[in-house]
Structure 1
């Protein structure tokens, strides 16, 4: 065989090898650093703080703080399909929570105090089921709220959260008081009266994952809800809690570090 033919065959062989490795490199899967994070099915409850006792009810979870005789947080998933069910009538069957090992606050603690038994998990969020509704009246789900606050802007916020759930299919909600040492108390069990309350909402539906927080003083407030909107990060700084710690760090930072009032229909 002539040398020039051999040379051509060698060049063709080399060209085929180069093409093969080029295709392998360009079709290789993305490296772990650039791949989209794999998200869990749900965010899970907040990180347990201090000596709180975790109480698992049928449709919500709470962290009971014995020192202050109320929950540090209540966590639940609010689903549109349940909100669309015909509501059950509330029976206001306030009662002690038998699942709190140290004993929860009692109904008599609030009597004559001037404070409402303020729901952390709103009764209206669970009115789709008689059993679920009844569980919202455990005293472990109550916190002393000024009547003008509980029946005013706090109620307005609760209604807005239900509207958001109907718009976005479902939301994850964390609600609680801002507790500290030296607070005024009510009743024989010394239930602390919080100066502030917070609510944190996570829309965990792709592609527009987003979060928002609210902090409100326990008093009569005026103004739009957007006035009290803050980042989830800022609520964590205020409370010392880590709400969605089970999510990938980068994703958690993204939804907790900023808010867009336009996406929540709160802009003027």
Structure 2
């Protein structure tokens, strides 16, 4: 009896190993298939959101509520929702008023490669920014919600290259200080689990420079405000001139309140009033 049990157990063990090998082969085949699926998409391709490998295929309502600034009344505003961000578009400047998103630790990396297929946003009325407006202008197409925050999703990566998410930006600023701040935000998202970010252009009160046949306005500076809720609520803002930019000379850390005074935008209005007052009053960079 015992011998029969041992033989039966031996046969079962052999079958178990075969099953494990087959499972590993299946996993390997799936991995290869996924690698094939993350090839860059063409500009005209519209990707189905349900194929994404991120934690959502559309920004959850709870995230939208916390991300979105208060409605604007002093400037044109068209609010558009995309896979990973929400944007307030200004038909007068042909630029966003602001772009807002939640950056989670899971979304700081991913399999998607940068696709660099800038495209018009057909939800914006004519005239609107086009690729031709930027050609030969001397200004780069500066992301507000960066491509580096959208590697987790094919559709999110595509959406990040919409011109509704772009402003004319000094090329050296784009690849220098602005890029450094974006990298810092990904580091903070990994460290604290998630951060909430709003950024956009800053305009002076004088005449605006424009580029292209569609008169896309060139910002004088850019702002970014960053909020975390864990382990304790903290927030800060920055303003950086739209010049070649150096961290010492052209990047200014501010409280969120100060950025609100500069931009006229009310950030994070969904926070409880006592928390909003606390986190927006000061910029304690030592807490980050």
Distance 1:156 1:78, change over 3 A: same
Matched residue, 2:186: 162
Per-residue deviation, 1:227 = 5.6
TM-score (norm 2): 0.73
Mapped to 2, the partners of 1:44 and 1:227 lie a distance apart of 23
Mapped to 1, the partners of 2:281 and 2:249 lie a distance apart of 19
1:1-268 matches, cutoff 5 A: 43-49=66-72, 50-84=75-109, 86-102=110-126, 104-180=128-204, 182-205=207-230, 207-223=231-247, 228-264=252-288
Kept in 1, the 8 Å contact 2:67–2:197? The answer is no
Mapped to 2, the partners of 1:66 and 1:59 lie a distance apart of 22
Mapped to 1, the partners of 2:127 and 2:267 lie a distance apart of 25
Mapped to 1, the partners of 2:249 and 2:195 lie a distance apart of 18
Question: If you compute each CA radius of gyration, which structure gives the higher value, 1 or 2?
Answer: 1
Kept in 1, the 8 Å contact 2:67–2:102? The answer is no
What is the CA deviation profile of residues 214-247 of structure 1, one whole-angstrom value per residue up to 9, with x for unaligned ones? Answer: 0000112223599621100000000011011122
Q: Could you tell which deviates more after superposition, 49-58 or 134-143?
A: 49-58
What is the CA deviation profile of residues 38-96 of structure 1, one whole-angstrom value per residue up to 9, with x for unaligned ones? Answer: xx876240012132100111221000001100101000000101224x33111211110
Kept in 1, the 8 Å contact 2:241–2:250? The answer is no
In the alignment, structure 1 segments of 5+ residues that lack a partner are 1-39
Mapped to 2, the partners of 1:105 and 1:227 lie a distance apart of 27
Q: Whose helix fraction is larger, Structure 1's or Structure 2's?
A: 2
Distance 1:102 1:157, change over 3 A: same
Kept in 2, the 8 Å contact 1:198–1:235? The answer is yes
Mapped to 1, the partners of 2:250 and 2:138 lie a distance apart of 28
**What is the CA RMSD across the aligned residues, in angstroms?**
1.9
In the alignment, structure 2 segments of 5+ residues that lack a partner are 1-61
Tell me the SS of whatever aligns to 1:194: coil
Kept in 2, the 8 Å contact 1:43–1:247? The answer is yes
Matched residue, 1:18: none
Kept in 2, the 8 Å contact 1:97–1:103? The answer is no
